[in-house]
Amino acid sequence: MQLSPQEKDKLLIFTAALVAERRRARGLKLNYPEAVAYISAAILEGAREGRSVEELMSYGTTLLGKDDVMEGVPEMIHEVQIEATFPDGTKLVTVHNPIRLSVVPLVGSSQV
């Protein structure tokens, strides 16, 4: 099988994301590469499903919170950038501050 460098990169991201997903499911906190791969793979899949760049930029900030990652990781990841293939071509998706530092209560919720 012949793969382009871009295809090899995507496979590496998905492999790391799979490891991250399994570790997270076992209750382990993700390290820096795992967190970046987890977010990147979700963005790539969202693009494949036909979601817009704007949707994915917002979605990327909902995937992980500070309790999902090791100490110091949120401060290390200021943004995640990934080139994703959309129905109308390849676009760069940037997710700013992808790790939530605190839980934001829902509007109209009685929780604080």
pLDDT at 101: 86
Distance CA 62, CA 80 (A): 13
Tokens found for residue 88? 């109308």
CA angle in degrees (0–180, nearest 5) for 76-45-11: 75
3 state DSSP class of 99: strand
- Tens-binned pLDDT, residue by residue, of the chain (112 aa): 899 999 999 999 999 999 999 999 999 999 999 999 999 999 999 999 999 999 999 999 999 999 999 999 999 999 999 999 999 999 999 999 999 987 555 555 444 3
**All domains in the chain, ordered by first residue:** 5-99 (3.30.280.10)
Query: CA neighbours within 13 Å on the CB side: how many for 33?
Result: 7
Closest CA to 99 of 86, 82, 76: 76
